[in-house]
Every structure is written in C-alpha cells, then in structure tokens.
Amino acid sequence: MIRPLLKLFAALTLFASTATLPAQDWAKATLEKSPRHREYVALKHGDRTVQAFVVYPEVSNKAPVVILIHEIFGLSDWAKEMADELAAQGFIVIAPDLVSGFGPGGGGIDSFASQDAVTKAVSMLDPAVVTADLDAAADYGKKIPSANGKLFVVGFCWGGGKSFDFATRRHDLSAAFVFYGTPPPDVTAINAPVYGFYAGNDARITATVPTTVAAMKVAGKKYDPVTYDGAGHGFMRAGEAPDANPANKAAREQGFQRLVDLIGKTNAGTAMIHVTPADARKAAIVGFAVKRPTAVPSALICHDPAPTAVATKSTRQSAAKSADASAATPADTMDMASMM
C-alpha cells in the first residue's frame, strides 16, 4: 500500500513542478504542422557536446544560415517554432540548446522540472562557454552542403544580448539581429551591421539605445535600432500568443517582416540602413562610450546590466564631426552594400 502511495505522490509532485512551465501549446501545435525537415544534431567542441535544433527550408537553391539564440526561458517550443518560421522564409536555422549538459543527470532543456529552474540555469551560464557553443553552431552551419556561406545571428531577450556580443567575436557574420537585448561593453571589434528591435514599454532595455547609438557611431559601426511603440519586452513571443494585445501583435508582425527582409537583402547584397541627420546629431550630442558596471555579475541576472555612459572629449568631437558630415548629406539612406 505504501509503495503505490509513494508513486502517486511522486507523480503529483512532477505534475506540480512541470505545470509551472508557460503554456506554449499554440507554438507546439504550429511546429507539429510544419512540412519542413527538422532534426537534432550534436555539436562537439573540446570535451563538450551541445544539442541543436536544425530546420531546413524547402528550396532548390543554397541558403544562408541563421543561428538563433533563445530567450532566458531556454530552447522552448516557441523558440523552435520561431526557428521553423524563419526556415519557411528560405533560411537554414540552427538553434542550440545552450543548457545542454547542465540539467539534471547531464541533460538539457527537457530535463529541468520547472521553468524557474531553466531560467536560473540560463542566467548562470558561463559567457565563454556560450560563445564557444555559438561558434560550434556557426562552424557546423557553414559546412552544411546546402548552405551558401552567408551567416547571420539573431537573439531574443537574454539571447538578444548574446547576439550583440557574438558580433564582437565572430567576424564572418553577415549581420546580427538584436531583439530587446543589451549591448556589449566594447563595440569596436564588430564587423557586421547590427539591427536592433526594441519595445516602447521596456525602458530597462530601451534606455540603453542612445548610448549604443553613440558608441557605434564613434566606432564607425553600422547600427540601426527600431523601437515599436506600445509593445512590451518579449513581444516576438507575446505577440504571437492567442491572447496577444494589439501593440505586441503589431510589433511582432512588423518585427518579423523587417527581420526577414533584412536577411534577404543582406544575403543578396542590397541591404539598406536608415540614418537620419537628426539621429546622427543626437548621437553626437550624447558623445558617449559604453562601459559596463562591474558591481553586478552578469551571470546572475536575466540580461546583462544596463550600460553606463562615460563621456570623453575625444568621443564627443569625433561624433560631432561625423554627425555634421551626415547632416550635410541630403540623402538620409545609405546603401550598406557600398559600405561593407
């Protein structure tokens, strides 16, 4: 009698813990209807193995590779559904499970008992390990026979910050896409254009944009941020949910279309970046370099700490000179292909 009761108690406990996971049945249902080829691959580097979710487009030509970095919530059903949706647009998508090997029994995302446990695990990931995992995914992607050699990275929430950071370390990227993520402490090593997608009702993240504009301008880097009014943090996921509010839904639709268009245009070598003289002048007035506070370890929080601005005479003068040059140019749109 005791043994059956213990089994019942264990089952109820497991149910209670897994019930805390956010309901994403709609994402799972959409994914299961997909006709595209999906598979899991083991990416090995050093003594580590990372599981990655890979989706292939149904196309007759070679395709660019997109590395998708998940939210603080891990490689969820939504993250995999987003990977599939991007593949539907003609891209090979690789979404690594960055908590591979760190779950109970050495498992990955599926081994955690609750969403809170996943969030803690992602928050505690070693940045160096994350970079190595993303490098493994990128290296794998470039060797896929049906890949055309173009490499992109896109990240959401926690993954948005990692996408921005990866652009400082991976120099064969064609572009990086940052969805409501924080900037890295030093942008000078970035080679690829960076496109930002931010929520109007997300001051914690969006407040970092002006200093990032200034730092990227001073460093001579391409950065094109867009803020979607009324949307909240995580609008790409929240805007797709059945109960999405109008602002999140609109931001999700517009953000996704912009992402697809930019990948397509960059892949074809015709991407455009919109920079107005007013924007350039604003960055010059700010004239900041970005410096991250050291008081809070970045591994302990969802996002990296919001950067603080450090103004210097040289950065202000450099930014002002650049802004004046931009303001003197009648056209406010530049052909990125001619600048790369």
pLDDT at 179: 98
- Helix residue spans in 19-57 (DSSP H): 25-32
| Three-class DSSP category at 274 | strand
Buried b (16+ CB within 10 A) or exposed e, 136-161: bbbebbeebeebeebbbbbbbbbbbb
Sign of the Cα pseudo-torsion (156, 163, 125, 98, in order): positive
Token output for 66: 């997109």
* C-alpha 297 chain-centroid distance: 20
The neighbour count for residue 338, using CB atoms within 10 Å, is 7
| Model confidence pLDDT, tens digit, residues 232-288 | 999 999 999 999 999 999 999 999 999 999 999 999 886 544 433 344 344 333 333
Q: How far apart are the first and last CA of the chain?
A: 73
The neighbour count for residue 52, using CB atoms within 10 Å, is 25
pLDDT at 24: 85
The neighbour count for residue 253, using CB atoms within 10 Å, is 16
- 230 backbone φψ class: left, alpha, beta (φ>0; ψ -120 to 50): left
**109 to each of 48, 97, 312, 322, how far by Cα in Å?**
16, 7, 44, 46
pTM: 0.76
For 257, residues 6+ apart whose C-beta sits below 8 A from its C-beta are none
State the DSSP H helix or E strand holding residue 182, giving kind and residue range, or none if neither.
Answer: none
pLDDT at 270: 66
The neighbour count for residue 164, using CB atoms within 10 Å, is 25
For 161, residues 6+ apart whose C-beta sits below 8 A from its C-beta are 155, 178, 181, 182, 183, 184, 303, 304
- Residue ranges of the chain with per-residue pLDDT less than 50: 1-21, 272-340
Sign of the Cα pseudo-torsion (230, 199, 261, 222, in order): positive
Residues in the chain: 340
The answer to whether the beta carbons of residues 190 and 169 sit under 8 Å apart is no
CA distance 292 to 272: 30
Burial of 170 (0-12, 13-18, 19+ CB in 10 A): buried
CA distance 239 to 249: 4
Pairing of strands 175-179, 223-232: unpaired
68 beta partners? 154
Mean pLDDT of the chain: 81
pLDDT at 23: 61
Q: 40-44 long-range CB contacts below 8 Å, 24 or more apart? A: 41/140, 43/96, 43/133, 43/136, 43/137, 43/140, 44/136
